[in-house]
């Protein structure tokens, strides 16, 4: 797999509403995202794998992902694998806390003390998995505290990245293939990487581009040539823009 700028870990919590452990996953994920590893993690709402677009479904193919589930139904892990990609790691609260002396976790809406402690333990476990996946030293200190999300009106215009409501921000680009607009995941990052590597537009580069783009996007065999032509055209335009002196 190419070394694309994706050095973050995706965190997907089941957030199950019916069980206290679902609330534990939600709070644990938020603690990692907001406090423990804010610079190294991103998230996405689980239902966006079905309700969202290609950029959303590519989440676990783009980011190594940690699924955080409350119970052995493992909705987050299984749905992520079904619709996006196999999680790199998985945590199940009910397994993680086996043998712990926390007491009964209660409060699907508002956690009791045992539940809050369970969220802390789960968050620490997820943070350590993030460190492992990124190859960073274990037990790093807390990075920063993110300010609480403020209410704001949604933007009206189409975003240039496939952000979900959580702002996962996988870069995408639309290109014309056989006369129709196709959204290609990670293409801006791939173009950037090729340019930085000094690869000039041309037939050989277009073939390389196609191979890299195929990692993140399903491309039918019979359309590979059309995609290759489109990539050659788009990369030439991108390259020309980069070469223009400021």
Which spans of this chain sit near another protein (rule: CB under 8 A)?
13-19, 22, 26-27, 29-31, 34, 43-52, 73, 75-76, 78-79, 82-83, 108-109, 148-151, 153-154, 164-168
Task: Report, in Å, the least distance between residue 51 CB and another protein.
Answer: 4
Task: Report, in Å, the least distance between residue 144 CB and another protein.
Answer: 16
* Contact yes or no for 57/79 (Cβ under 8 A): no
CA-wise closest residue to 90 among 122, 48, 137: 122
Return the number of the residue (58 or 79) whose C-beta is nearest another protein.
79
Return the number of the residue (40 or 208) whose C-beta is nearest another protein.
40
Q: How far apart are CA 215 and CA 219, in angstroms?
A: 9
Return the number of the residue (165 or 178) whose C-beta is nearest another protein.
165
Q: How far apart are CA 61 and CA 233, in angstroms?
A: 26
Task: Report, in Å, the least distance between residue 212 CB and another protein.
Answer: 28
Buried b vs exposed e over 20-42: b needs ≥16 C-beta within 10 Å? bbbbbbbbbbbbbbbebbeebbb
11 backbone dihedrals φ, ψ, rounded to 5°: -115, 125
Task: Report, in Å, the least distance between residue 109 CB and another protein.
Answer: 4
3-state secondary structure of 3: coil
Q: How far apart are CA 187 and CA 190, in angstroms?
A: 5
Task: Report, in Å, the least distance between residue 161 CB and another protein.
Answer: 14
Task: Report, in Å, the least distance between residue 111 CB and another protein.
Answer: 11
* Contact yes or no for 164/171 (Cβ under 8 A): no
Return the number of the residue (81 or 232) whose C-beta is nearest another protein.
81
Instruction: Check residue 34 and report its DSSP letter.
Output: I
3-state secondary structure of 158: coil
The contacts of residue 221 (CB under 8 Å, 6+ apart) are: none
Return the number of the residue (29 or 189) whose C-beta is nearest another protein.
29
Return the number of the residue (75 or 105) whose C-beta is nearest another protein.
75
């Amino acid at each position: 797999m190419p070394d694309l700028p994706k050095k973050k870990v995706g965190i997907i919590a089941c957030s199950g509403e019916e069980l206290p452990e679902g609330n534990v996953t939600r709070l644990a994920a938020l603690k990692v995202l907001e406090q423990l590893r804010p610079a190294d993690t991103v998230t996405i709402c689980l239902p966006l794998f079905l309700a969202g677009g290609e950029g959303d479904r590519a989440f676990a193919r783009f980011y190594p992902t940690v699924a955080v589930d409350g119970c052995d139904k493992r909705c987050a892990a299984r749905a992520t694998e079904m619709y996006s990609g196999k999680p790199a790691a998985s945590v199940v609260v009910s397994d993680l806390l086996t043998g712990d002396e926390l007491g009964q976790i209660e409060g699907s809406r508002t956690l009791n003390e045992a539940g809050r402690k369970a969220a802390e333990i789960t968050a620490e476990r997820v943070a350590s998995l993030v460190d492992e996946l990124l190859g960073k030293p274990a037990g790093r200190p807390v990075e920063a505290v993110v300010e609480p999300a403020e209410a704001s009106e949604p933007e009206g215009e189409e975003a240039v990245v496939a952000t979900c409501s959580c702002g996962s921000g996988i870069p995408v680009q639309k290109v014309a293939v056989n006369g129709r607009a196709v959204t290609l995941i990670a293409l801006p990052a791939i173009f950037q990487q090729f340019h930085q590597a000094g690869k000039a537009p041309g037939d050989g580069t277009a073939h390389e581009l196609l191979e890299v783009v195929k990692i993140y996007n399903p491309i039918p065999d019979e359309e590979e040539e059309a995609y290759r032509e489109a990539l050659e055209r788009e990369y030439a335009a991108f390259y020309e823009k980069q070469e223009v002196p400021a």
